[in-house]
Structure 1
Amino acid sequence: MTDPGALKIDFVDVDGGLRQWKVLGRREVPDVPGSGMTLAEIEAEAESGPVLLVQKSIGREADDADPGLYARLENEVRVGLLLRRRFGGPGYPAELARLVGYDVDGGEPFALFERFVGPFAAEVAGRLLLDEQRSFQTSLLRGVRMLEQVAVVHRGITPYSVRWDGHRAQLTDFETAAPAFRVRRAAGTRPWASPQQRVGGGGTCARDDVWSAGMVIYHMSVGLASAAALERDPDLGLVEPRTKELLTGVFAQKAVHRPHPVELLGRLNVQDPLPPPPEEPDRGFREGGHRFDELMRQKHGTAYRRPPEPADRVVRDEDEPEPEAAAHRGEPTMPRQAPPPPPRPGAGAGVAVAIVITLVVIGVILWLLGGLVG
């Protein structure tokens, strides 16, 4: 790491408090491909002692080239705050990147995380032993399940948003995350994104992430030998039998035919450890960004506007499970839209009677007028 001298880092912590930590060391690390943000590993002096951090920031030039980076940084912050509130302090799961704080008021806004557990999973694809593959699969699917429990769809699971330290996988990079059961917006590329996610339409759901996690598991088993291999459909004949059993149905074209994350954990003989969420997840997703919004308005004035949310909050299509079936598995359910009221009995007959009466009255008037003229 470089010696930053007396450099300090100022940020807002996850409780909304202002912090200033002395930077003991800093070094740039490889950026996430396709992200546009810059990553740096930092050693800082916190109140409790030295801490290891990852800073994900937007450079001035990057901001000018891609204004959408602010919205993606906002997703990082909102999801991070929601996860911190949901899963607490010391027991926070290692399978999910842990937000420490953020700064959106400076010239180069950033989100600050605890140090990621290891390098990109892509760096060790095809080189894991069978027991390591099992550990990777279990921890990755636990991360997917935890996001599903708070009704968040990652939408960006690739070998470059998953980290691996030899014992566990960790999900990072929530730039394109979205609440579940919202209108799908096209995101991601083949092969990592599901067919529904790539084209948009319908409603976001955990089975989008099931496809992506399954594809990462598949390539961790067979290796990323060439770009051409990514364009072919997965060949489960290339993986060992237990992984083949795990991935059965994961790449179904319709999302409703894919297994739920809890079912996949069951195939690994891992019980679902999560109780129901203590509050409405969507409300937590919104409230988690209030402080962020305030700081953005201070930075940009009245010109700042949050990205609009889809008007249709309840989205159903043929790729999504029926609410009754979802309830049996502990999934978040979507309320049914009330059907239009049926027509009142006799409404059509009443119209016909009114027409007949009108014609009779007109006939009588014409007959009377004819008599007067005669």
Structure 2
Amino acid sequence: MDRSEETVRCRDVSGRLREIRLSYGSDFVSPGSVLSQQLVKANEQLYVRKFVSKSDGGRHPRLYRLLDNEVRAGTRLAQVFADRYPAELARLVAYNMDTDEPFVLLRAYLGDPAAAAVKRFDDAERRQFQIGVLRALHLTGVAGVVHGAVSLDAVRWSEGQVQLVDFESAERAGEPRADASTAPVRSPEQIAGEGVADVRDDLWAAGGLIRALYSAAPQDRSRDPERLRVLLGDVFDNPLEHRPHAADLLQKLHAPVSSPPVTNPDDALREGRSLFDRISADRRRTPGRPSTISAAPRPKSALLMLAVLAVVVCVITGLVVLL
């Protein structure tokens, strides 16, 4: 890339427009990512920029979907955890999907990919790593996000701290399962592509990751150490509806199960949606049919609609500098 600095427009995790001055750095490689990446600076802070170039997008349109998954997961996590965002999860800061080269900006990741470090782990570090991975999945579960590609490639390690990154295969819990083709380990339901995404899908992949720490044979659990069978038996031996959650495995490890205070992003929209539904229902009424809604006179309803729209427009068009 020949440019070294550029002012770009993007949206923060709340959807507000911002202007950011970026200084472009070196290419960046994260083994769990398919997308192009580079390091950038803004306001003296280091970020990871993931993007789809026009040429790459033309050859591989699927890349746009992977970037969109990163945005959807990142905005959900940021809105749920707000200013108490957990260090165990990669943090989306801004994005722009309406440009020839769509991109996302994430805070610089912790440490290094875990694959090399785990080979040197002692028993205490293995336990710490297991707890870190399960805690990360507990947090994504709280937010209703399914990572979709949990593996050593998507986990970072920094002096005892785990961070889960690369949400390119992510889905929202309750959505129809998509083809998570980038995931090296998938649950039977993911492989079949049946039903809806469930936060416990990630536990299947995490179980495989934890077994790999002990060099367990991928297809043969009969020789697993007893502690692994106790910890993971319910993950692999049960249908989805009877599988444990990450919090259950943390309890088996006698590790704390906690999460920061969360907010439900849907709550902020509920009143506006309710108002919209009332107005829409009022307008759809058949003449002569009594309404089941005690609506205000139509002029007031119209004014309320205009007021809601005005607030939305003000929010999404405000242009400020990223702090």
TM > 0.5 fold call: yes
Whole-Å separation in 1 of the counterparts to 2:185 and 2:91? 23
Match of 2:69 among 41, 63, 75: 75
Aligned twin of 2:130: 137
Alignment correspondent of 1:353: none
Partner of 1:13 in structure 2? 12
CA distance in 1, matches of 2:3, 2:251: 48
Query: Is 2:56 the counterpart of 1:62?
Result: yes
1:109 corresponds to 2:108: no
Task: Tell me whether 182-191 or 151-160 shows the greater mean CA deviation.
Answer: 182-191
Q: Retained in 1: the 8 A contact 2:148–2:180?
A: yes
Aligned to 1:119: 112
- What is residue 148 of structure 1 aligned with on the other side? 141
Which structure would you say has the larger Rg?
1
CA distance in 2, matches of 1:150, 1:181: 12
TM-score, normalisation: structure 2: 0.74
Q: Is the 8 A contact 1:148 1:206 kept in 2?
A: yes
Instruction: Quickly say closer, same or farther: Cα 1:177–1:121, change in 2 above 3 A.
Output: same
TM-superposed deviation, 1:146 = 1.2
- Whether the aligned pair in 2 keeps the contact of 1:95 and 1:171 (CA below 8 Å) is yes
Q: Secondary structure at the match of 1:222?
A: coil
Are 2:20 and 2:42, in contact at CA under 8 Å, matched by a contact in 1?
no
Q: Deviations over 1:304-350 (max 9, x none)?
A: xxxxxxxxxxxxxxxxxxxxxxxxxxxxxxxxxxxxxxxxxxxxxxx
Q: Which has the higher contact order (CA 8 A, sep 6+)?
A: 2
Q: Which of the residues 199, 208, 213 maps onto 1:215?
A: 208
- Deviation by residue 1:239-258 (Cα, 9 ceiling, x = unmatched): 5x544432232222522332
Q: Once the 2 structures are TM-superposed, how far is the Cα of residue 76 of structure 1 from its aligned partner?
A: 1.0
Instruction: Tell me which residue corresponds to 2:196.
Output: 203
Q: CA RMSD in A?
A: 3.2
> Are 2:28 and 2:48, in contact at CA under 8 Å, matched by a contact in 1?
no
Q: Deviation string for 1:197-232 (max 9, x for gaps)? A: 111112221221110111112213328xxxxx6xx4
1:129 to 1:188, Cα distance in 2 relative to 1, 3 A: farther
Contact 1:187 1:199 in 2 (8 A): no
Which residue in the other structure is 1:364 paired with?
A: none
Contact preservation (8 Å) 2:25, 2:38: yes
Residue of structure 2 in register with 1:237 after alignment: 223
Structure 1 residues 28 and 190: CA distance shift in structure 2, 3 A: closer
CA spacing shift, 1:279–1:29, aligned 2, 3 Å = closer
Displacement after TM superposition at 1:236 (Å): 6.4
Cα displacement (A) at 1:273: 1.5
Alignment partners' CA distance in 2, 1:190 and 1:104: 24
The alpha-carbon distance between structure 1 residues 150 and 190, as it changes in their structure 2 partners (threshold 3 A), is closer
Aligned partners of 1:40, 1:237: CA distance in 2, in Å?
43
1:94 aligned onto 2:84: no
Task: Tell me the CA shift for residue 157 of structure 1.
Answer: 1.2
Say which is worse superposed, 268-277 or 59-68, in terms of deviation. 268-277
Instruction: Please name the residue that 1:255 is paired with.
Output: 240
Q: Name which of structure 1's ranges 271-280 and 149-158 shifts more when overlaid on structure 2.
A: 271-280
* Residues 237 and 244, structure 1, Cα contact 8 Å, conserved in 2: no
Q: Which amino acid aligns with 1:175?
A: E
* Change over 3 Å in CA distance of 1:238–1:134 after alignment to 2: same
Equivalents in 2 of 1:138, 1:252: separation in Å?
A: 21
Task: Read off the aligned partner of 1:206 and give its amino acid letter.
Answer: V
Alpha carbons 1:122, 1:159 under 8 Å: kept: yes
CA–CA distance in 1 between the matches of 2:34 and 2:194? 26
**Aligned AA for 2:12?**
D
Matching of residues 216-365 of structure 1 within 5 Å: 216-222=209-215, 232-235=218-221, 237-239=223-225, 242-252=227-237, 254-274=239-259, 278-279=263-264
The amino acid that maps onto 2:180 is: A
1:298 alignment counterpart:
none
* CA distance 1:107–1:147, change in 2 (3 Å): same
SS at match of 1:63: helix
Change (3 A) 1:60 1:11: same
Deviation at 1:160, TM superposition (A): 1.5
Kept in 1, the 8 Å contact 2:71–2:95? The answer is: yes
1:39 paired to 2:32: no
Amino acid across the alignment from 2:162: A
Does the 8 Å contact 2:150/2:183 carry over to 1? no
For these two proteins, the number of residue pairs brought into alignment is 273
1:168-183 equivalence runs, <5 A: 168-183=161-176
8 Å contact from structure 2 (residues 7, 19) kept in 1: no
Distance across 1 between alignment mates of 2:182 and 2:21: 39
For 2:17 and 2:265, the matched residues in 1 are separated by: 24
Identity between Structure 1 and Structure 2 (%): 32
Alignment partner, residue 325 of structure 1? none
Q: Tell me the alpha carbon deviations over residues 250-296 of structure 1, each in whole angstroms, 9 at most, x when there is no partner.
A: 22252233222111110122232137854376998xx9xx99xx99x
Q: In the aligned structure 1, how far is the partner of 2:2 from the partner of 2:45?
A: 16
2:230 is matched by which residue type in structure 1? E
| In structure 1, distance between residues paired with 2:47 and 2:88 | 16
SS of alignment partner, residue 88 of structure 1: helix
TM-score, length basis structure 1: 0.64
Please report how far the alpha carbon of residue 106 of structure 1 lies from its aligned counterpart in structure 2 after TM superposition.
3.0
